[in-house]
Chain A
Amino acid sequence: MRRDVKRRTFVAGAVGIAATGGSGLLSGCGSGAADTGAAPESLTQPVAELGPLKSGINYPPGYIGPKARRQQTIVTEPATFTVVVPQSLTVGDWAKNEFTRWMEQQTGIRIQWRQVAGKGNDPETMTKINAMMAAGDIPDAFLGITFTRSQLYLYGAQNLFVDLNPYLERYAPNLQLAMKDYPETPKLLKAPDKGVYSFPDINDCYHCRASNGRALLNTEWLRKVGLAMPQTTDEFREVLQAFKQADLAGGGKTIPFGGYKDAALDTFFMNSFLYNAGDPWLAVNDGKVEANYVKDEWREGLKYLHGLYADGLLARDIFTANEDQIKRYGDNPGGPVLGGARVYYWGTLMTLDLVDPKARWHQYETMDPLKGPNGVQVAPWDYLKVGLEVSTLVVTRKCKRPDLLVRWADYQLDLEVVLRSYAGPDFRWSVKGDKGINGKQSIYGMESWNTDETKGKTWDQYGVMYRSGDFRLAERVDPKKPTFESPLYEQTRDHLFPHRQPMERQFPPVTLEADQAALDAEIGLNLKSEVTGSLAKFVTGRLDPNDDGQWADYKSRIGQIGLQPYLEIQQAAYETYQG
């Protein structure tokens, strides 16, 4: 008898959307619709246990990350859920996708996919999602749709999204392990009302944590002008002057230091004067949230950049060039024209030739952050915003059995499933002695990832995954075809990681109440355009940072936009985050 009821609820979950559609937010948001919500048995199922470890896999010593276990199927009776996903050319048709089929076989859980055009994080996708939410046309879950923390909280507090707290405790053993590896996770997951409105994804990308502070310098040129890698702001200026004088590109084509508009200059240069992680330029000082761009240190940084620009040491188009333009400089036929550049990695600077060991990109090396006149030397390290992503799987109140979806998501955190999910079935376990990106024992290798061969076989990183730092760095490097991954890791480790700021200084990703979020968005946008606009003007000489009057005007403009109320919102949100 009971079993019949269950089956019926599954069917309702799968196809009942059209039937109940339209009765959602408009009528039901205040009262909380009574006809939906998790079935009572969803919290009384036996607690999920970890399976035994699979053998024959070579983990490096001290490895922290996902492991391969023998996992059980989740259901024996077929269970179907409706899940909204973004469209992807790599995934192809989600229903016919190979990983979809594999997951269905392994777990017994069937998914009815509804594809939304877009990438899952673009404004138009969100328009569509908001229309669905407002019309009550809600699936059992969203996968790979990037709700912001504030949106999750908004919908969660309205009871549209399920608070996963009790489910994660009982049915997500893999996630519990991962949260031990990444102890900040629970704090980052919780909304101000302590609710957890999504199943997260962990993707600890080592070099991403430092990418805002990365700048590259041409070591070949350094050798030619007989100078060492600069360590201070003054030495850096000397190097650029030497590049300029030597005109190593010939014909006056030399650009001592370049950049483009999508890589902020301040996240590299300002860190010689104060810790600055870039937009929104907030930092925590003894529990107090402060804005960098009104500080005297910021002004000193502007003076320095102003000087460099006035001497012709920065590219004229450093604020306006787009990616194609900087690449054209980088790829300049006949020889390099750039002495250095503020870019995220070599690939933004030029077309990468991975075969030739003498390829041009090898000339460019990551700089240490420069030590400023007061001894400040920081590489902004992103402890909190890289690594954990919320909103990977969002379960809605339409879902009768959140426990099954949570187990389904947790199943995907297993090492082997992670590899299948984003790299496809053609990965291979490494043998003893294979080296990974970080030079330690490698765990796996994948030849066909990111080629046409994996089309229709993977979920293109939209799945729920646990990719720890060690996991990512344990990818085998083919000694015959080394990629840029190893140098990127090594240079980050040697030049940036040692100069990182303490974690307490980073302004964390906070969650705002709906009305605060609106205010924050409005003021934040105006502040951003003022700060970036004025930065460009101060540097290029349309404003003079040495002029007290112009600096005072700038500060008063910032004040008028509403810095004070803005900081109060952030301070309150920060304190909520700290609990």
Chain B
Amino acid sequence: MSVAIDTASAPAPVQETRSDRIVMICNYTALGLFTLAVLYPLVYVLSASLSDPKNVVSGKVWLWPVGFSIESFKAVFDYDSIVTGFSNSVLYAVGGALLATVLTLFAAYPLSRKGLPGKGIIMALFVFTMMFSGGLIPSYLVVDRLGLLNSRWAIVLPAALAVWNMIITRTFFQSTIPEELVEAAKVDGCTDFGFFWRVVLPLSKPIIAVNLLFYAVAQWNSWFTALIYLTNEHLFPLQLVLRQIILQSQFDPSQVRDTAELIRMKELQEQLKYSLIVIATIPPLLVYPFVQKHFVKGAMVGSLKG
């Protein structure tokens, strides 16, 4: 029941008052500071990745690269597991996002229509899984019994539908595709499948984009599922390798039996940490601008009412 406000044809701007201007200045200052707070770590990580690791450790790098070097990026590609990890992550993110988006659309559309019998029960079942889960061991058993353990499917399938996304998508359908449109199509002899394919999908680009992004980012960032279900290094995603590098450089300082090794692992970590973060951040950064224009629209419309 939202009231549409026509912002496009708003009247010409009136003279700004003093208080308006103060509000404006405050706004810009606050937003500017906020931007800096978000931007600084990004710039720092990029600079650190392009600096001589020694300068990073000694704290000489604070904004721009000191002692420019791309050694750390070269070192990254020396490790096979990082390269395979990267391609695995891309595969999981793209494949997982596609599969999950398709499933989400298939589940959300019927649930958005009035005529579906047993709609309440199905919805309740979905929501139930948001509140309660079987826990780690039962999930592990299920994955094991399905024969998915230690395969790529163990990463993609258990995460193939997020109820939260499904609800947003359903709401999007409810509010953008009125029942009247279905009826009109039916009068013209269109089947349900035809309607979904020819009318619903073309009208739902924003929500598809949102779903793809949500799922892809979730897959890109996840490491725990991989840790639990995989025992083959060749299937590990990048995040798991990243974690490995950080873990390997942590020692119980009182029990350092091989100090030379400790020093080397520390150096390795300093060298690889920042360049790996840069590498791990690039794909989402590349994708985001293309999805962003749909993003606000899709997520907002979908979450208007529950």
Which residues on A are within 8 Å of B, measured CB to CB? 18, 21-22, 26, 84, 87-90, 92-94, 114-119, 122, 124, 127-128, 131-132, 134-135, 137, 203, 205, 208, 211-212, 262-263, 323-324, 327-328, 331, 344-345, 347-348, 351-352, 386, 449-452, 455, 461, 483-485, 488
Contacts and interface: CB of A to CB of B under 8 A. Distances in A.
Interface stretch (B41-49, B86-94, B107-115, B238-246): B238-246
A450 B248 contact: no
Contacts of B80: 92-93
B244 A347 contact: no
A196 B54 CA distance: 47
A450 B264 contact: yes
Nearest to A94: B233
A451 B261 CA distance: 9
Interface string B221-235: 001101110111110
Contact of B231 (A116, A135, A352, A488): A116
Interface string B51-66: 0001001110000000
Contacts of A451: 264
A344 B263 CA distance: 13
B136 interface: yes
Contact of B140 (A92, A118, A131, A211): A131
A22 B255 CA distance: 38
Interface string B146-183: 01011000000000000000000000000000000000
Contacts of A26: 141
A89 B244 contact: yes
17 contacts: A21-B149, A22-B141, A26-B141, A89-B241, A89-B268, A93-B234, A94-B233, A114-B150, A124-B227, A131-B136, A137-B149, A211-B254, A263-B253, A344-B256, A450-B258, A461-B261, A484-B259
Interface string B198-237: 0000000000000000000000000110111011111010
B244 A117 contact: yes
B228 A127 contact: yes
Contacts of B243: 117-118
Contacts of B268: 89
Interface of B: 54, 57-59, 78-81, 136-137, 140-141, 144-145, 147, 149-150, 223-224, 226-228, 230-234, 236, 240-241, 243-245, 247-248, 250, 253-264, 268
A509 B13 CA distance: 78
Contacts, number: 126
Given A18-B147, A135-B144, A208 B255 contact: yes
A90 B259 CA distance: 16
B79 A89 contact: yes
A345 B244 CA distance: 25
Contacts of A135: 137, 140-141, 144
Given A18-B147, A452-B78, A122 B57 contact: no
Contact of B144 (A21, A87, A212): A21
A88 B244 CA distance: 7
A344 B253 contact: yes
Contacts of B144: 21-22, 135, 137
B133 to A, nearest CB: 15
A87 B224 contact: no
Nearest to A116: B231
A377 to B, nearest CB: 21
Contacts of A94: 233
B81 to A, nearest CB: 6
A131 B260 contact: no
Given A115-B232, A134-B137, A328-B58, A89 B248 contact: yes
A119 B136 contact: no
A117 B230 contact: yes
A211 B252 CA distance: 11
Contacts of B228: 127-128, 131
